[in-house]
Structure 1
Amino acid sequence: MQPDNSQPKTKPKIASSTTDPVDFDHAIGPDTSTPDGRREIRRATAASAMGNMTEWFDYGVYAVAVTYISFHFFPTEGGTLMALGTFALSFLVRPIGGLVWGPLGDKLGRKHVLALTIVMMSLSTFLIGVLPTFEQVGILAPVLLVLLRMVQGFSTGGEYGGAATFMAEYAPDKKRGFLGSFLEFGTLGGFALGTAVMLLLQVGLGDEAMMAWGWRVPFMLALPMGLIGWYLRNKLEDTPVFQELEERGEVQQHSSLASLIRGYWRPMLVMSGLVIALNVVNYTLLSYMPTYLEGQLELDPQASLMVILIGEVAMMAVIPFAGSLSDKVGRKPLWIGSLVGLFVLALPLFWLMGRSFPLAILGFAILGLLYIPQLATITATFPAMFPSHVRFAGFAVTYNVATAIFGGTAAIVNEGVIDASGFLLFPAVYMMAACLIGLLATRYMPETAGASLRGTAVPDAHDTGILADADA
């Protein structure tokens, strides 16, 4: 697609370039009109999604294993809150990971960072599965658990931002929403797989064996999953956008948090508002919900896992369609529709989930489907808010700081407020408040559907004429 030159515009350059402006008429990357080009795009999509699945498999397993974690590592009063606190602690390390991995990804390339982070993530998850318990080694057990969760958080600080950047820069401009949605398909796949494995083990082993040793099995499965992801990523070249930066001598060699904030505080601030809404909803629905259904609504553990699993499978079925729709109508309309829908319906749907098991399934599924338009477009939306030479760092730092403060703490905030007040609908109110912040951010959110991610200028959909063509 050639730029619309009927009304010439000059894109604002964010950093000086030593070369001529990027020639957007000259295509880069896989040729999607050929079988080999389409095959390379599929491999890049699979490699990104597999790594994301491994990352979120751990979070999914930990979320549904809180009862076992509490029993074996925090066998005191308030053990559930301590287990959820350990979950939140890993998120507090994520910004440090973003500060380290982000600039490295902009300097060394997306591929190398992703290969390393997936190995760190899967190995630390595996080691949780073989840790000694409090009964065996005393206080050393929770200390080791906390250390491994911190390693997971550090590696995740580069994994997610890197995978989203990698996928966004590989995808053709007009299909970035559709292809990028498969990264989040991997997210839900990881959650769903963790839930499904835990449910199968509970049914097959029984409560006694599950409490004794069965809870360890899902954590140990992360290692082979990580090795598969590492293999897939190492078989790929780095993204075409990064390779072009290297050829043009525009790779970011030196960067700091201060220079990043000074140059890109506006997109960082807007993205932070969107991430607050995204992750309060995400971690309330996908991480805290098993604890909420079992501890607060007193559902049977297997029944609560069934509620989560059915909802996650429904979300997975819809997510590629939402991603594809964003390529046609833009990202902003989907975000606004999702945020408004969740704000209006969160309270009645949480009330509905407390009525019965079938209504819990219905309420959770509707909440999940309302959330999908945000989740499906993360990869297409957030990386496109930064120019390519600082994209990894800008995404990783912004996303992980906001996630650490508002995402990883969602479970412990919800549980703590409910325990203190007895107000069972507080998670719905918390989600509604986050959605208001997200709606404010959408007011300043750039529409980047169809925009090229090449070069050191801020991507702008309106400079390409693609949205206008799509409307026509």
Structure 2
Amino acid sequence: MEWYDFGIYGYLTVTMTTVFTQGLPEEWQLLAVMFGFAVSYLVRPIGGLVLGPLGDKVGRQKVLYVTMAMMAISTALIGLLPTAASIGGWALILLYVLKLVQGFSTGGEYAGATTYVAEFAPDKRRGFFGSFLDMGSYLGFAAGASVVAITTWLSTHFAGETAMHDFGWRIPFLTAIPLGIIAVYLRTRIPETPSFEDNQSEDEESIEKDTEDPYARLGLVGVIRHHWRALLIGIAIVAATNTAGYALTSYMPIYLEEQIGLHAASAAAVTVPVLVAMSLLLPLVGRWSDKVGRKPVYATAVGATVVLMVPAFLIMNTGSIAAVLIALCMVAIPTGLYVALSASALPALFPTASRFSGMGISYNFSVSLFGGTTPLVTQFLLQKTGLDIVPALYIMAFSVLAGVALLFMKESSQKPLMGSFPTVESKKEAIEIVKGQDADPNIDTTHMPFSDTTTSSDSAAVEPKGVEA
């Protein structure tokens, strides 16, 4: 649902420039609509700061229900906005307001969703199961692109070339209404994660007051004080992931229309098969990371970005559809390697009691400053420099930064999440985990949330109450 909206907005940016920026100087019109991306991302850290701690306190499921409802409503309302021809500059302001609501809700959405998926996924296959979250995200973007392409073709075919500017741009946004109803209903049916419930079994007051324990539930200051290294690592990796991701998705339709000269429908349609193929391959990358580790896959992503990005944009600028498809595939390779690990590697940086908060801070600050501003910044630099490969250089810079961060990142593949019991797929696996925990290098019982009657020193003699099948 989240990425469906971004897909719609990205592929309608040029169309919405005509609808919402009437009266502005021509050189500022496209940037004004693209600023809608930046606006939504500027408020995401606030959403993370508010919804992250709330998710650690009241539960992941409750916050995820609220964020989905906010996203669905605000997306549908964009489709009902009056145009600049009707109310002048107020149309653009109202668009920004709704993008702010979307940004706030998304500040808790991705952090909460990755936390939720990571805490339910079994330790030995967290990369595989976690990758389905981002597979859904990119398929959502592809669905948005498909709806825009179909709407553009049908409306212009039956109502003339100006149909998208007249009314057609509203249709994709209004489809958020039935999708939102389904999504919100599903969110009301999901259970809370066992990891959160295990941590809630401890005394609430002692958790909040024990600020010297990094595994306790902490306020924002405590999260920053105890987990600043993990926050910086997360920010660097998220910046690399999302500059590549948003270049491939949100910025690519603008680049293909404005720089390459493709028709709006063609710019939308040409990216769909690439996004679908990349999305379907993400579980394979996730499974690979379960076997070889998250860090080697991330390192491969860094290397692929440095090697492939400049040639990809050079090939793209030759202008043919075949060249564009080849170039998009080249950009999708490092992007897929990055995003497949997001839901498994990033939540593992933080302990259970502060995981939602840590993800909310690191992910949203990074996306706000670097990822979500990628379309705006790269388009601005492109206009100022006239250099076709500016987007490639921008993406590469953040990948190099992520490569440095990897040097300080701990491997989390095959291991229980910090502050949580092992998560397994069967009772048989649970029994084997308990029997072999003394010799298993991936098991550390020191900070698992045992009940008061079982201390960490004698934990090896009993079966942890929280081992979930």
TM-score, structure 1 normalization: 0.84
One-letter identity of the residue aligned with 1:421? T
Q: Gapped runs of 5+ residues in structure 2?
A: 209-216, 424-436, 444-469
Amino acid at match of 2:36: T
Q: Does 1:233 align with 2:187?
A: yes
| Alignment partner, residue 13 of structure 2 | 66
Counterpart of 1:16 in structure 2 is: none
How much has 1:303 moved relative to structure 2?
Answer: 2.0
Change (3 A) 1:464 1:415: farther
C-alpha deviation, 1:229, in angstroms: 1.6
Name the CA distance, whole Å, in 2 between partners of 1:463 and 1:378. 29
Match of 1:263 among 206, 209, 226: 226
The 4+ residue runs of structure 1 with deviation greater than 6 A are 456-459
Equivalence for 1:102: 52
Tell me which moved more, 297-306 or 134-143. Answer: 297-306
Q: Which amino acid aligns with 1:249?
A: D
- Please point out which of 253, 261, 269 is paired with 1:290: 253
Counterpart residue type for residue 292 of structure 2: V
Q: AA paired with 1:71?
A: T
Summarize the Cα distance change of 1:433–1:381 in structure 2 as closer, same or farther, 3 Å threshold.
same
Counterpart-to-counterpart distance in 1, 2:439 and 2:303: 29
Aligned equivalents of 2:59, 2:180: Cα separation in 1: 20
Match of 1:378 among 342, 347, 357: 342
Structure 2: how far apart are the matches of 1:463 and 1:399? Answer: 35
Question: Aligned residue for 1:178?
Answer: 128
1:368 aligns with 2:315: no
- Amino acid in structure 1 at the alignment position of 2:175: L
Aligned to 1:309: 272
The aligned residue for residue 17 of structure 1 is: none
In structure 2, what residue type is equivalent to 1:70? T
Alignment of 1:413-452 (within 5 A): 413-452=377-416
Q: Distance in 2 between matches of 1:134 and 1:352?
A: 38
**What is the CA deviation profile of residues 167-226 of structure 1, one whole-angstrom value per residue up to 9, with x for unaligned ones?**
000111111111110100111011100000000111111132222111111111112212
Matched, 1:351 2:314: yes
Pair 1:242-2:196 in alignment: yes
For the 8 Å contact 2:16–2:165, the answer to whether it is kept is no
Distance 1:277 1:300 in 2: 29
Kindly indicate whether the alpha-carbon contact (under 8 Å) linking 1:63 and 1:287 is maintained by their aligned counterparts in 2. Answer: yes
Q: Secondary structure at the match of 1:248?
A: coil
Counterpart in 2 of 1:218? Answer: 172
What displacement does 1:307 show? 2.2
Find the aligned partners of 1:255 and 1:62 in 2 and give their Cα distance: 37
Count of residues in correspondence between the two structures? 413
1:159 to 109, 120, 125: 109
Is the Cα contact below 8 Å between 2:111 and 2:356 reproduced in 1?
A: yes
8 Å Cα contact 1:164/1:383 also seen in 2: yes
Q: Which residue does the alignment assign to 1:50?
A: none
- Alignment CA distance shift 1:403-1:129 (3 Å): same
Residue 339 of structure 1: aligned partner:
302
Q: Secondary structure at the match of 2:43?
A: helix
Structure 2 contact 48–107 (Cα < 8 Å) conserved: yes
Question: How has the CA–CA distance of structure 1 residues 462 and 427 changed in structure 2, closer, same or farther, with 3 Å as cutoff?
Answer: farther
Deviates more, 1:101-110 or 1:314-323: 314-323
Which residue matches 1:8?
A: none
Q: Which residue of 1 aligns with 2:363?
A: 399
Distance in 2, matches of 1:464 and 1:165, equals 25
Residues 361-405 of structure 1, C-alpha deviations (whole Å, 9 max, x = no match): 011012102221110110000001000000000001111001100
Are 1:411 and 2:369 counterparts? no
- For 1:462 and 1:62, locate their aligned partners in 2 and report how far apart those are by CA, in whole Å: 53
Residue 144 in 1 paired to residue 94 in 2?
Answer: yes
Give, in whole Å, the separation in 1 of the partners of 2:62 and 2:404.
36
Match of 2:448 in 1: none
CA distance in 2 between partners of 1:259 and 1:457 (Å): 23
Equivalent-residue separation in structure 2 for 1:155 and 1:172 (angstroms): 28
- Quote the Cα distance in structure 2 between the aligned partners of 1:219 and 1:255: 39
User: Partner residue of 1:465?
Assistant: 441
User: Greater shift after overlay, 96-105 or 267-276?
Assistant: 267-276
Within 2, Cα distance between the matches of 1:238 and 1:452? 18
Asked whether the equivalents of residues 13 and 34 of structure 2 are also in contact (C-alpha less than 8 Å), the reply is yes
**How far did residue 457 of structure 1 move?**
10
Q: Distance in 2 between matches of 1:144 and 1:463?
A: 60
Equivalent AA in structure 1 for residue 325 of structure 2 = I
Offset at 1:463? 9.1
Residue 117 of structure 1 pairs with residue 103 of structure 2? no
Partner of 1:25: none
1:465, distance to aligned residue in structure 2 (A): 3.2
Gap regions ≥5 residues in structure 1: 1-53, 468-472
Given residue 172 of structure 1, which amino acid in structure 2 is its aligned partner? P
**SS in structure 2 of the partner of residue 447 of structure 1:** coil
**8 Å Cα contact 2:244/2:331 also seen in 1:** no
Per-residue deviation at 1:101? 0.2
Q: Take 1:351 and 1:457, find their aligned partners in 2: how far apart are those partners?
A: 49
- Give the TM-score of the pair, scaled to structure 2: 0.85
Q: Distance in 2 between matches of 1:288 and 1:244?
A: 42
User: 1:200, 1:186 → 2: CA distance?
Assistant: 21
Distance change in 2, residues 1:366/1:250 (3 Å): farther
Distance 2:363 2:183 in 1: 22
Give the C-alpha shift of residue 325 in structure 1: 0.9
1:401-459 Cα deviation digits (max 9, x unpaired): 01100011111111111111111110011111111101111111111011112627999
